[in-house]
Structure 1
Amino acid sequence: MAHKIKDIRKRVDEIVAEKDKFNLAQGLEDRKLNMQEMREMTHSFVDPRNVIGRDDAKKDIIHLLMDQNENSSRNVDVIPIVGIGGLGKTAIAKLVYSDEQVVGHFQLRMWVCVSDDFNVTRLKKEILKSAIHKIDENFGMDGLQNSFRELLSDKKFIDNLGVDELQFRLRELLKDNKFLLVLDDVWNEDRNKWMELEDLLLGSCNESKIIVTTRNNSVATIMGTAPTYHLDGLSQEDCLSLFVKLAFKEGEEKQYPNLLEIGNDIVKKCKGVPLAVRTLASLLYPKVDELEWRSVRDNEIWHLKQNEGDILPALRISYNHLPFHLKQCFAYCSLFPKDYEFKTSLLVQFWMAHGLLQSPDNEKQQLEDIGDLNIKELMSRSLFQDVYVNYTYDYSFKIHDLVHDLALSIAKGECSVVAKKSSVAAEVCHLSISENGQEVTTQLEKLSKVQTIIFLTEQPMTLLETCISRFKHLRVLTLVNSSFEVLPSSIGSLKHLRYLSLSHNDIIKQLPDSICKLHSLQTLLLVRCNNLERLPKGIRDIISLRFLIVTTKHTCLSEKAVGCLDSLRFLFIDRCENLKCLFDGMEGRLTNLRTLLVNECPSLTTLSLSIRHLTALETLTIMYCKELSLMEVEGEDNQDLKLSLRKLLISGLPKLEVLPQWLQGSANTLQHLMIGECENLKALPEWLSRLKSLHRLTIFKCPNLSSLPEGMEALTALKELEIKGCPDLSRKCREEDLHKIAHVPEIELDDDI
């Protein structure tokens, strides 16, 4: 080891000498991102303002949907939309899917992303899940059969249905509803698979429609019954309009005619493909250096041999312009399947486990914040898309399949997806395993440098034990949806392990004590481990733990269990049915905790924790705890509380009668307050007007609330007010209380009754 250190020092000295030779200055890369200049994050439905030049296509497809086609003997027509990758087939389908005329025409709308896996059973489940989300959006559920009440309450119920039961429920759901089903990104050319699914859908209401988006004309031939809609590239004029919208601030292009001319040349190279235009425009925003623009226009990548419709050169240029730290983070995303829905908080934990998040020496940023900035920067460059904000604590996104192809090409050699017929290079460090069997095991035996193993399908215990014994430098191990009754005690030998997920294991009852030897562990996920009896007694020894999600049958999480986890930043207590108290005897602990979520703990009666000690807490979410009143800390002196809450969500607390006084301790920081499904909450406190930083207030399903408190006019930072399921309160806001909220720019109230 001493000789190795000596060699490393020698190499560093040589680098320093080279630096001096070329007069290079030492400095930190500027990694700050101007958040106000970032693109506005959108939900999973496309914003029509961001789609240019597709009005005619939208009208044509809507016409096909409304066409009753009297010559057809079918009651369900299939309309294929065909075009090369990146043209915007999905965007057009989303525009049509969300159009008011279409929403009013169909009783039921469903959206399923098919991608490479045309597994008929999976698709049936996804169709049902989508139906639950959208069912009778316009017509109510009064006519819905009682057999579906259970289905509507829990999507997890669908995953446990047998094939016959699944088929029966889908038929029952569709038979009396005129529906629109979008099957997005279809690659299947096996006609038999399509016919199996088609037979199930044909018994539905007349005038039902299916839209299929695909790059493959053969798919359109197999599935289509209506004329195929061939989506062409955008015109040069529309491409330039899109480029200008994304590459310049509003009206700025007039100040830089030279850049506009260069931009026009760049757009020509994009060959009418919106994804290429978006990616390069996002790369150049808001740069004004002509040399940078010319370097994109004249890049040698454009001169490589390309297939027709190939946009990878445009994407590769965008990748090449990424800072090094973002290149590493982006490449890691290749481990996950196409159409994978990334949860931002978990992706940041993956990056953190591999040391990809480094805080500049002169800044005291939390690693979680740096990871979040990385994600937002990749979004701003159009490499991440379909952003969906979950207001509880997180947001999710997806990667376009062509961008996924780019990530695969970049990460080749370091990251690999292992299947039975795949070929894995010996130097691979990061693996996701999509199949099982001896062929997979044989491939793993050739490897030695593995740091990541993500099991995408259930694996036998023998393979897990082999991985633990062979790969001693593992940093990430995910065993999601596994069925291990016990975890091998050898897990404690993985001293470098930083990320461990056992989520959705329904049969595991206990964790081995050896897990407490994982002193480097930063992330532990025990989501929906419904039979886990308790956390191991020595869990307090996992001193590096920053992110913990747990489901357990234990009755109390006390100081003895998690009291020493002072590195903890994120804690989610989920579906602990027996849990009666939280944090008993833990005053003065968890001082670094920033996010606390408590969900579906029906026996919980007290938090047993003085709020005054959670001085770093920024996000607090408490949902569906029917015995919790939040009153246990009342009686303390709340005047001197100095809290830093930014977001508070309270929902499903029937015993909540008044908002807790300790909220006043966050008067200068609270930005988002959401209160829902609290039927005994009768009034909002007068001190609500002291929340000077509040810019979003959401109240839903609190039927006993009848008025807003006096002084609402003082909430000058309030930008959004939403009131739903509170008829008396909405009516009052339209009449007597209108003056209290007249200054709020965005107000959404219950419809008039």
Structure 2
Amino acid sequence: MVHLKSGAVGSKILLTTRDRKVVEIMKSRHIFKLGMLSEAESWSLFLKSSGWVEEDLGSDYIKVGKVILNRCSGVPLAIRTLGGILYENKKISIWKAIGQSDLWTDESIEDRVFASLKLSFIHLPDELKQCFTLCSIFPKGTKIYKDRLISQWVAHGFINSMNGMQPEDIGSGYFDSLVKVGFLQDPSKDWLTEQLVCKMHDLIHDLSRHILQDEVVTCPPSNMIANHTQRCRYLSTTSCPEKVHRNSFHKAHALFISGGNPKFDKPVKKSSSVRSVVLDYTENTPFPQFTLKFEYIGYLEIHKLGCTKFLEAISSCWNLQSLHLISCNGLVVLPDSIGKLKKLRILEVEFCL
């Protein structure tokens, strides 16, 4: 809504939704129900999203491609995603395998769309699969910053230097590939930070969590002490209860916590599993001491840290490669011990006084 503050008199909001209940709640005056794309429109979108030129495709590719598009039921998301995958996989055998997959057996449009997304994931290169599934930790609708995401991939060991290239440069290529296939969408410059940001379509987000199943947990406060949080790989919570079991994060590889600082029932034990932590607090919050227990943490991002000086003890995080301090009002001093972080490659201090 912030963009409307500079809008001209008479500006209007165009709302799009897949849920009829949203329309009823908004009491919209004019409702337009979009239809599916025709066969010709689907083929045109496929060519545009994939980068193919029809004249360059042989008759076999065109025939199989149109069979696949017919299974997409005229849904743009499914067509764009498979278009990107088919462009990267130029073997006719792969095209035929996708067209003949058993995943297409369901007749409903919703199931066919999900089948197209799942097939797109199956045919992703292995190095992109783990980069994509890490995105499952972000809540739906989250603005994803390209450079920060790449730094998390690096912290998890998903990117290795090769041929003298820096990990960030390789990660940038991975990011572009995920945009190409539609798993990350709408890359643009953030109007406030001028950093490149993107988002995930809700159905793509559902896919990422479906793939990981029990390995990713989105946890409301009431379930933070449940046993399954102690076994998951990625843990995301939008609010923390007053008391959290000290082993709740012990086996997690990545944490995304928003809302408040967790308080533990007992002192937190050291963990060698956690590689990345994002603390998206909504108000000024004391330094999260529990992060110092994560021996191999490589990425730490904190929003709205409520202190004037960062802790000297940060030097104990010897593996820290990326430190991001965002909107930490009052933070005026970084500790001398930060110089002891020999692996630190990226230090971002944004909107801090």
TM-score by length of 1: 0.43
Give 1:660's aligned residue. none
Q: Which has the larger radius of gyration?
A: 1
Give 1:455's aligned residue. 257
Residue of 77, 80, 87 corresponding to 1:275:
77
SS at match of 1:550: strand
- 8 Å contact kept, 2:188–2:198: yes
Distance 1:373 1:234 in 2: 31
Distance 2:332 2:352 in 1: 13
Q: How much has 1:445 moved relative to structure 2? A: 4.3
Q: How much has 1:479 moved relative to structure 2? A: 2.5
Letter in 1 for 2:12: L
Q: How much has 1:251 moved relative to structure 2? A: 4.5
TM-score by length of 2: 0.88
Give 2:49's aligned residue. 246
Give 2:145's aligned residue. 343
State the Cα deviation string for residues 392-415 of structure 1 (Å, max 9, x = none): 873111111111110110122222
Give 1:729's aligned residue. none
Q: How much has 1:301 moved relative to structure 2? A: 1.3
1:543 maps to 2:345: no
Pair 1:575–1:487, CA change in 2 (3 A): closer
- 8 Å contact kept, 1:417–1:432: yes
Distance 2:28 2:124 in 1: 45
Distance 2:19 2:274 in 1: 40
Residue of 497, 509, 533 corresponding to 2:297:
497
Give 2:11's aligned residue. 179
Letter in 1 for 2:277: L
Give 1:135's aligned residue. 7
Distance 1:485 1:399 in 2: 31
- 8 Å contact kept, 1:524–1:548: yes
- 8 Å contact kept, 2:331–2:352: no
Distance 1:321 1:224 in 2: 42
Letter in 2 for 1:321: H
1:218 maps to 2:21: yes
Pair 1:355–1:272, CA change in 2 (3 A): same
Letter in 1 for 2:146: T
Pair 1:388–1:472, CA change in 2 (3 A): same
- 8 Å contact kept, 2:189–2:196: yes
Q: How much has 1:533 moved relative to structure 2? A: 3.5
SS at match of 1:531: coil
Give 2:179's aligned residue. 379
Give 1:388's aligned residue. 188
- 8 Å contact kept, 2:250–2:274: no
Distance 1:352 1:365 in 2: 13
Distance 1:300 1:261 in 2: 19
Identity %: 27
Matches within 5 A, 1:515-664: 515-550=314-349
Pair 1:514–1:402, CA change in 2 (3 A): same
Distance 1:487 1:220 in 2: 41
1:474 maps to 2:278: no
Cα RMSD for the two superposed structures: 2.6
Distance 1:522 1:280 in 2: 35
Residue of 117, 122, 126 corresponding to 1:315:
117
Give 1:510's aligned residue. 309
Distance 1:251 1:271 in 2: 21
- 8 Å contact kept, 2:222–2:241: no
- 8 Å contact kept, 1:243–1:281: yes
Higher relative contact order (CA 8 A, sep 6+): 2
1:437 maps to 2:266: no
Q: How much has 1:302 moved relative to structure 2? A: 1.2
Structure number with the higher helix fraction is 2
Q: Which runs of 5+ in 1 are unaligned?
A: 1-126, 137-176, 183-211, 552-573, 577-753
SS at match of 1:435: coil
Pair 1:218–1:487, CA change in 2 (3 A): closer
Q: How much has 1:472 moved relative to structure 2? A: 4.6
Residue of 313, 329, 334 corresponding to 2:136:
334
SS at match of 1:249: coil
Distance 2:303 2:157 in 1: 23
SS at match of 1:538: helix
User: How many residues in Structure 1 have an aligned counterpart in Structure 2?
Assistant: 347
State the Cα deviation string for residues 620-657 of structure 1 (Å, max 9, x = none): xxxxxxxxxxxxxxxxxxxxxxxxxxxxxxxxxxxxxx
State the Cα deviation string for residues 54-107 of structure 1 (Å, max 9, x = none): xxxxxxxxxxxxxxxxxxxxxxxxxxxxxxxxxxxxxxxxxxxxxxxxxxxxxx
